[in-house]
C-alpha cells in the first residue's frame, strides 16, 4: 500500500468519524491522493461525469424512491394493510403476520427497506401497540426485520446498484431475489406462529370472508402494481429502469385519479423528500466512483484477487469468508457504502473462482440488508427507535431471534446456489462459466 493511498484512507476514516457524509469524505480522500501523486484534479470531474451520466441504470434509483414516497403520502399503504389484515389477522399473532405479509407486497413496489419501515412500518407500529396488544419494542423489532425483505424481492434498489458495479443483468437479479425473499418471509411467519403460542399473542376479530372480495377489489390497484412491473420487465415491454418510471407514474395515477388521496401539497412533499434522498444517495455514488478510480490505480482489486487465489480458496470457502466480512462490516458501515466501495474489490476474485455473479449478487444484497438490523450501527434499528420511541437495548433483544432466522436463510442461499438460480434459469439464464 502506497503512502498516498494510506493517507487517503486515513482522511476518509477521520472525516467519516467526524460526521461528514461518506460520499464527501471519499471525494476528499481521493483528491488528496491525486494531489500527492501529482495528477490532474480534472480526473475527479471526469470520473463523476462518466460514472453519473453514462449509466442509464442509475435512473431507476430516484424513480423507485419517488414511487415509494407517493404510496406513503396517499392511502395505498393503508389499503394494503387492511387487505393483509383480512387475510391473516384472524390467526393468533395475526397482526404480526400482517406485518410480514404487507412487507412482501410492499416489497414489489418500493425496492427500499427504509421506505418500507418509514411508510407502512409506521402504521404497523400504531396498529400493533394500540390497546397494549404488543410491546412497542417487539412491534418495532418485527417491523425492522420484515423491512429487510423489501430490497430482496424485486424491484430492488440495492440490486440495481450491484448490477451497476458488477455489470450483471438486472432482470435476472430481480428474478433471483424472488424465492429467497419469500423463503425469508415464510421463516419469519413460522417463528411468529411459534412465538405467538408461547407468549399468547392476541387474536384479532376475524373479518368475515364474505367481505374479502370487496376488500380485495378496493386494494386491487395496489396489488396490481407488482404485477405490472414484473410483466413489464420480463414480458420485454420495459427495461428495469423504464419499469421504475412506470412504478412512479402508476403510483401517481392510482393516488390522484383512483383513490384521490394525494393533493398538490402531498405531491410536492413526496417530490421534495425523494429529491433529498436521491441527492444523499447520489453523493455517495459520486464519492464511490472517484474512490474506485483511486482503488483501480493502486491495482487493489487485482492484488487482492491474486492474494486470495494464492491461498487456494475454493468457491464455497470464499463465499463463507465474504459472508463473515460483510456481516461484520454491516455492524459499522452503511449498506450502500459497502455495496459501492467494498463489493467491487471482491468481484474479480469471485469471477476468477467461477462464482455465478447473480448468485453472488443475491448473497451480497442479503448480507447488506441484514446489516440494517445488526447492532450497533443498523440503520433500521435507529429508524425504529425514533418511530417507536423505545430503548435500543430492548429493540435489539427482540430483533435477535429474527436476525438469527435470517442468517440461517443466508447460509442456505450460500451453500445451495440453486435456491437462488432456479427461477432465473427457467427464464433462460445460463449462468457463469468457470
Q: Is 169 contained in some domain? A: yes
- Average pLDDT across the chain, whole number: 79
Q: Answer whether residue 136 shows pLDDT above 80.
A: yes
Q: What is the mean pLDDT of residues 262-279?
A: 81
Q: Answer whether residue 139 shows pLDDT above 80.
A: yes
**pTM for the full predicted model:** 0.75
Listed ranges 56-65, 130-139, 191-200, 290-299; the one with the highest mean pLDDT? 191-200
Q: Is 195 contained in some domain? A: yes
Roughly what angle, to the nearest 10 degrees, separates helices 94-110 and 76-88?
140
Q: What is the mean pLDDT of residues 407-422?
A: 92
In residues, how long is the chain?
Answer: 434
Domain that residue 73 falls in: 40-426
Q: Is 289 contained in some domain? A: yes
pLDDT for 409 equals: 93
Q: Is 19 contained in some domain? A: no
Q: Is 363 contained in some domain? A: yes
Q: Is 14 contained in some domain? A: no
85-88 own/partner pairs: CB under 8 Å, 24+ apart: 85/204, 85/207, 86/207, 86/211, 86/212, 86/215, 87/212
- In 3D space, the residue among 46, 109, 42, 66 whose CA is nearest the CA of residue 281 turns out to be 66
Q: Is 11 contained in some domain? A: no
Q: Answer whether residue 111 shows pLDDT above 60.
A: no
Q: How confident is the model at residue 179 (pLDDT cuts 50, 70, 90)?
A: very high
Q: What is the mean pLDDT of residues 229-245?
A: 74
Q: Answer whether residue 242 shows pLDDT above 60.
A: yes
pLDDT tens string 90-104: 777 777 888 888 777
Return the residue matching grid coordinates 453472488.
360
Q: What is the mean pLDDT of residues 65-73?
A: 75
Q: What is the mean pLDDT of residues 126-133?
A: 74
pLDDT tens string 158-174: 888 888 888 888 888 88
Q: Is 6 contained in some domain? A: no
Burial class (CB in 10 A: 0-12, 13-18, 19+), 398: buried
Q: How confident is the model at residue 434 (pLDDT cuts 50, 70, 90)?
A: very low
Q: How many domains does the chain have?
A: 1
Amino acid at each position: 500500500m502506497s503512502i498516498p493511498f494510506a493517507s487517503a484512507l486515513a482522511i476518509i476514516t477521520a472525516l467519516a468519524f467526524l460526521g461528514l457524509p461518506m460520499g464527501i469524505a471519499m471525494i476528499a480522500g481521493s483528491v488528496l491522493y491525486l494531489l500527492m501523486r501529482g495528477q490532474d484534479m480534472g480526473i475527479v470531474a471526469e470520473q463523476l461525469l462518466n460514472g453519473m451520466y453514462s449509466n442509464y441504470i442509475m435512473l431507476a434509483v430516484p424513480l423507485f424512491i419517488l414511487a415509494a414516497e407517493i404510496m406513503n403520502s396517499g392511502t395505498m399503504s393503508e389499503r394494503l394493510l387492511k387487505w393483509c389484515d383480512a387475510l391473516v389477522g384472524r390467526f393468533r399473532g395475526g397482526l404480526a403476520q400482517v406485518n410480514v405479509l404487507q412487507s412482501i407486497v410492499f416489497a414489489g413496489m418500493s425496492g427500499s427497506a427504509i421506505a418500507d419501515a418509514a411508510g407502512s412500518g409506521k402504521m404497523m407500529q400504531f396498529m400493533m401497540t394500540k390497546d397494549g396488544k404488543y410491546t412497542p419494542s417487539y412491534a418495532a423489532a418485527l417491523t425492522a426485520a420484515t423491512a429487510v425483505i423489501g430490497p430482496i424481492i424485486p424491484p430492488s434498489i440495492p440490486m440495481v446498484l450491484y448490477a451497476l458495479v458488477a455489470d450483471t443483468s438486472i432482470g435476472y437479479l430481480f428474478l433471483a431475489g424472488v424465492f429467497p425473499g419469500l423463503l425469508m418471509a415464510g421463516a419469519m411467519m413460522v417463528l411468529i406462529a411459534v412465538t405467538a403460542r408461547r407468549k399468547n399473542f392476541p387474536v384479532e376479530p376475524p373479518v368475515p370472508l364474505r367481505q374479502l372480495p370487496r376488500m380485495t377489489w378496493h386494494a386491487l390497484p395496489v396489488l396490481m402494481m407488482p404485477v405490472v412491473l414484473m410483466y413489464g420487465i420480463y414480458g420485454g415491454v420495459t427495461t428495469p429502469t423504464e419499469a421504475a418510471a412506470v412504478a412512479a407514474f402508476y403510483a401517481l395515477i392510482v393516488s390522484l385519479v383512483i383513490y384521490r388521496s394525494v393533493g398538490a401539497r402531498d405531491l410536492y412533499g413526496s417530490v421534495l423528500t425523494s429529491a433529498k434522498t436521491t441527492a444523499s444517495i447520489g453523493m455517495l455514488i459520486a464519492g464511490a466512483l472517484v474512490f474506485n478510480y483511486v482503488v483501480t490505480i493502486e491495482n487493489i482489486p487485482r492484488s487482492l484477487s491474486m492474494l486470495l487465489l494464492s491461498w487456494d480458496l475454493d468457491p464455497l470457502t470464499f463465499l463463507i469468508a465474504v459472508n463473515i466480512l460483510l456481516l461484520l462490516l454491516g455492524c459499522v458501515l452503511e449498506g450502500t457504502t459497502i455495496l459501492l466501495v467494498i463489493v467491487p474489490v471482491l468481484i474479480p476474485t469471485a469471477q476468477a473462482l467461477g462464482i455465478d455473479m447473480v448468485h453472488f449478487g443475491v448473497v451480497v444484497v442479503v448480507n447488506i440488508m441484514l446489516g440494517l438490523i445488526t447492532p450497533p450501527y443498523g440503520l433500521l434499528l435507529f429508524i425504529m427507535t425514533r418511530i417507536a420511541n423505545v430503548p435500543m437495548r430492548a429493540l435489539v433483544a427482540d430483533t435477535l431471534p429474527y436476525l438469527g432466522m435470517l442468517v440461517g436463510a443466508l447460509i442456505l442461499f450460500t451453500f445451495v446456489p440453486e435456491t437462488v438460480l432456479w427461477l432465473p434459469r427457467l427464464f433462460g439464464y445460463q449462468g457463469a462459466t468457470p
